[in-house]
Structure formats: structure tokens, C-alpha cells
Amino acid sequence: MSQVLTIERCDLNIKDNKSSHRTELFADERLIVRRGQAFAIFVYLKHGSKTLKANDPSVNFIVHTGLLPKKESGTKVSFPLSNSTVNTKWSASATHDPASNKVSITIASSPNAPIGLYSLAVNHNGQETTLGQFTLLFNAWCQNDAVYMQGEAKRQEYVLAQHGQIYRGTHKRIKGTPWNFGQFEAGILDICLKILDDNPKFALDADQDCSARRNPIYVTRVLSAMINSNDDNGVLVGKWYNITGGVHPGQWVGTGDILRQWAESGSVRYGQCWVFAAVGCTVSRAFGIPCRVVTNFGSAHDSNANLIIENVYDEEGNNISDGDSIWNFHVWVDSWMTRPDLGKEYDGWQTSDPTPQEKSDGVYCCGPAPLKAIKEGELTKKYDTPFIFAEVNADVENLVRLSSGKYVKIGGSTNSVGCFISTKAVGSDERQDITDEYKYPEGSKEERKVFEKAQHRNKLQQRGEEPGLQLKIKLAENMIVGSDFEVYIGVTNNSMVTKTCMLLFFAKAVGYNGRRGKSCGFTSDRVELPAGEERRLYLKLEYDTYGSVITSDRLIHLSAVTIDKENVDYHKAEKTIVLDEPPVEIKLLGEAKVRQPVSVRLTMANPLPEALQDCSFTVAGAGLVDSKPITFKIGRVGPKQEATATAMFTPTTAGSSVLLVSFDSDKLKNIKNSISIVVMGG
């Protein structure tokens, strides 16, 4: 009578496997491994049990994932016990200690296996014994994996880093905002997997969807749709104005709270582009896909796909454009992967955008599009390359619509879109300019050639026309929120004759996405300009006027127009002010040690001529503050007075981390800063 395989217990060797697979940062106490790399488990046999030997036809191992696993789909795989494992497919080997009942089993996963939650079992003569469960992720350290990335520093940054910088403002006033991605916080990986399970493609064909999760292209495209809630029960609801009934996008300091809230109660209110991108980065890194957050300054939204942003104004200088727009900045993500569907030359960074702007294949999603295709104007390459190409390359035309219905071109630009494209540098909080990865230098032969290949655009203004008026907006040096300051327009007559025109100078609050708010200043004058001379028109911006209308982005849009109706001559200049915010000072009081309380002193001076109500500091940081940020309420802070608080927290993890601090009140919101903290071991 043949022996029966009887297993007493199985040790998944979680600690050692997580260490070797670089998943030890996950707070979840379970086996999490990366595909294409072997892991070891220990099986303890009962006395008298059949042993596990290589090449025994009666024994094989089974792994499966998904609701309806199938061998044809690769979601269920059976493989024998061999003398050794291989790194190209599922395989297993074993070592039996004759002096004990312990068998060491090494299991290697396929570098092309679908990611997700797996069950592992051993089958002996048709009797199956479950050994346990594990979660399989993409592997940027495995050369056979589609997300393989060379360079340990890059892998540390784009897969393992839990905090980063997201850049906002304008191309002349770029400011980094710290963000806690928190992909390794307890429960986050399960929520990320839930995002995949909640996507409509899973409901339509669960097995096909789970099988496709082997492909980072597919997973990234699903995420770009599921991070927004427009077509499904996705993570975030977008809101750009009249923000009530939810969390203002600027108040978020990390992804963890957003994902937990979504898992508990559905779509979270509210997000804007940098929040969508940050959540997308968190989920991608949790899955093991190298990912970076990218900001494009002067980002075009080309709604009619002609690669021209047409700004149309009436005779009074009001913007009456419909559809096209240029955002002061827009934020998306780049993910690293191969593109076997397009060819090896398109491997590398791929842009995807979870902010809902336009539909793709009937769904609000965008990408992934290869940076190579974007730079070369290869608009037929998947996915959504034309839209992203326009975001960084579109030309701008400014037109005045006369009362007669006639349109008069008053200028334009070929270099105002796609400026200072930025991401956090590897291994530091410095900004890295990656514009050259997206486009050739502005004005270069290559850049123009690429643009013309992508689209036949309208002809540039004919050369040799008589030069006219030149209009420039000049700003004050110190423009801190709460202060009064002056700006002016300078108009120079470059022609050979005297010009007479009206000067109009507008100031309006504006959101980061370019949406105009209420007026906070206006002045006008009729001027006569002799040839070669300059005139100035000053506008004083007072806090009493702008303070109640600006958003938490602290942006004011200036617009200057010259109107010469007699000669049908119009000129326009625009500039966006980013008001400086008061600094939040953070001082560590003592040495940070694991599991020992430590305090920081938080200070911020109120720059406003009025009191702040409902003031608070919020602190967060992976490995420093428990999964939920801590808020310290301090109440009222008088005009020109200091807000102070002492925050205490207990670090949980040794090593380098970043403490994120945010100040909020009724009139000043989302004032952020961060410090690096080295936590000593216990």
C-alpha cells in the first residue's frame, strides 16, 4: 500500500521572504512576494507521511488567483516538484531534512504571472491540501519582468519611496508640496486590489480581467479609469469650484485616508489633478510598478484635437473661449514598463492621467502613452498620445471677435505650452526638469518638424508686418498673502507712428485649472503713445479686496488689453500671480527613537491684518505617525500673531522618514512644510 502525504502544518516563512523580496515595509502580516523570484516555505509532515521528492508524478503544486481560475487563462497553474527551480515559469524544488519531518520547498513564480491574491496547494494523487495564501506583485528587480528597471537608486525612489514632492504653482513660481504616498500602510494593498476587483471589466469577465493583470499596460489603464469616479464607483470625485460637502483637495496630505475612506463608504469627495495623480502613484507603487508624479506647467486642454488652443476675446477683453484652455499646471503620472504591443523603442516611461478630462474608448481614462511617441509626435501609438502630445506641445492663438462677427488675430505663442515639466529627483527632494524627455527644445528644428508632422496647424503670422504695440505685465517683488502691493502694465509703441488706444487692466481670482473667479481689481486709461515711447498703468491689489475671493491656491490672474478700434489693432498680455504663503517652522525637540515619544515645535506667523479662526496643525508621516494623521487644534490666532503647537508622536520604524505638517484655518488653508527625520533603532 502506497504512503499518503499528510501535512501537519506549513510555515510560509513570511519574515525572510518579505525581506528577500523587498516587501518588508508592508505592515500587513502576510506573505507578499514579487513575481519572477523564488521564495521558500517550510512544510512539516506528520509521522509516517509520504515524503516530498523531485520528479514524483503523484505530487504537484497548484497556484490560482481570481474568482474563476482557469488553466487556459493562466489564472490557475499546476507544476511538478523538480530538482531545481527556473526563473521563467512556475516551478518548485524541495530539500528534506532526514533527521526531522521538515521539508524546505522553494517556489519560483512566472515573471509574467498575473498579480493578485493567490492560493497555494499541494496535490497528491488527486487529494489537495491548502498550504496558504500569498500576494504576488510586479518585480522591478527581475530582468524578465515587464516593469524591470535598472539602477537600485531608481527602484528605491519609484517603487519603495513612501513620500515625495508634487509641484504646483506657475512655471515662474514652482513650489513643491510634500505628499505621503503610504503604499505600505496596513490595509492599503488590499484596498488597491479592491480597486481592480471593482472595475467594470472585472464585472464583465472576471477571469479575463484577472488574466490581463499580468500586463502592466492593462493594469495602468484600469487605474487611470478607476482613480476617478466618472464612469464607475472609482476612488475620487473631481471638483474645481464651489467646493462644499466634502474635503477640499488642498487639505489632503497623503493617500492613505483617501483609500480607506473609499473602501469604507465609496467615492471620496474631492480631488483635483495632483490628488488623482498621487493616488495613482500610490497604487502603482503598491503593485510594484515604478511610478513618478509629473507636473506640466502651461498644460493645454485641446478639446477639438487640432493642436491649437484658441483663446477668443470680445472687444472688452473678456475671455469667451469655449472648450480649449491652458491650465497653469496639470499633474499626471509616468509608469515604467515595456511596450511589446508597440515595439522595443517605446519601452520606458509611459504617461497616464487619472484626472477625468476626455473620454477614451468611451471611458474617462488616459494612457499609458510612451514618452518616446509623445516626443516624436507618433500620434498613432496607443494610448491617447494625441491628447497628451497637445498638453505639452499645442500652439496658442489669441483672437478678438468683433461685434460684426469678424475674428481678428492679436497674437499667439508656440512656446508657452509644456514648460518646466517637473518631477521629484531620485534620492532627494530637489526638482528635476524632465521637459527634454517629452519634447525637443522649443523653437528647434526638431520641435517644429515634430509638430508639423503631428498636425497641419494654422500659418504663423506673416513676417514683415509693421511692428505695433508691445505689452508687458510687471509684478512686485514681495507678494505675500495678506499684504497690499502694486502691479503695472507697460505698453511700448514699436511702430514709426503715434498710437492712441485704451488700456484695460483686470485682476481676477483664478483656480489652478485656469477657471476665472471674481474680480479683485480693475483700472483703465486712454493713452497716446508717440513712436518708441512707453506708458505705464498701475493697479493696486489690496487684501481687503482679494482676500475674500481667492481660492486656497492663492492665485490671481492679471490680464491687460490694448484696444485701438479705429485701426482694428488689439494686443493682450496675461500673467498669473502666486501669492507667497507664510512658512511653517518645524523644530524637532530631542532625538527620534523607535517606540519612544518625541515632540516637534510648530510655528507659523499669521500675515493677515485680521484674526484666523479654527486654526490647526496636522502632522503625518510613514513610520512616524500611526496610519491616521494627527490634528492639533489651537483655535484663534490674532492678526500678525504666531500660531504655535507642540506635537507629540511615537515613531514605529527605524530609518529615514519625512514628517509632513499642514496648517489650516478659516482664511489660510493648506499651508504645508516637511522635515526629514532619522529614527534611531530601539
CB burial string 408-426: b at 16+ within 10 A, e below: eebbbbbebbbbbbbbbeb
Residue whose entry in the numeric block shows the C-alpha cell 515634430: 450
The catalytically annotated residue of 163, 301, 330, 557 is 330
Around Cβ 388, how many Cβ atoms within 10 Å?
26
Q: What residues contact residue 8 under an 8 Å CB cut-off, 6+ apart? A: 44, 45, 46, 101
CB-CB contact of 383 with 366 (8 Å): yes
- Could you confirm whether 353 is annotated as catalytic? yes
Residue pair 107/52 in contact by the 8 Å Cβ criterion: no
Residue 273: active-site member: yes
The Cα diameter of the chain in Å comes to 113
Bridge partner list, 672: 662
Q: How many residues does the structure list for the chain?
A: 682
Marked catalytic residue, from 10, 192, 210, 273: 273
For residue 523, count other CB atoms closer than 10 A to its CB.
15
Dihedral sign for Cα 303, 309, 310, 311, please: positive
Q: Single out the catalytic residue among 302, 334, 353, 384.
A: 353
Grid cell digits, residue 647: 506635537
Bridge partner residues of 424 (DSSP): 431
Terminal C-alpha separation, the chain: 57
Q: Which amino acid is at 451?
A: F
Which residues in 88-206 belong to E strands, given as ranges?
91-96, 102-108, 116-124, 127-137, 163-170, 173-180
Strand locations in 383-444 (E): 395-401, 407-413, 419-424, 431-433
Just list the catalytic residues.
273, 330, 353
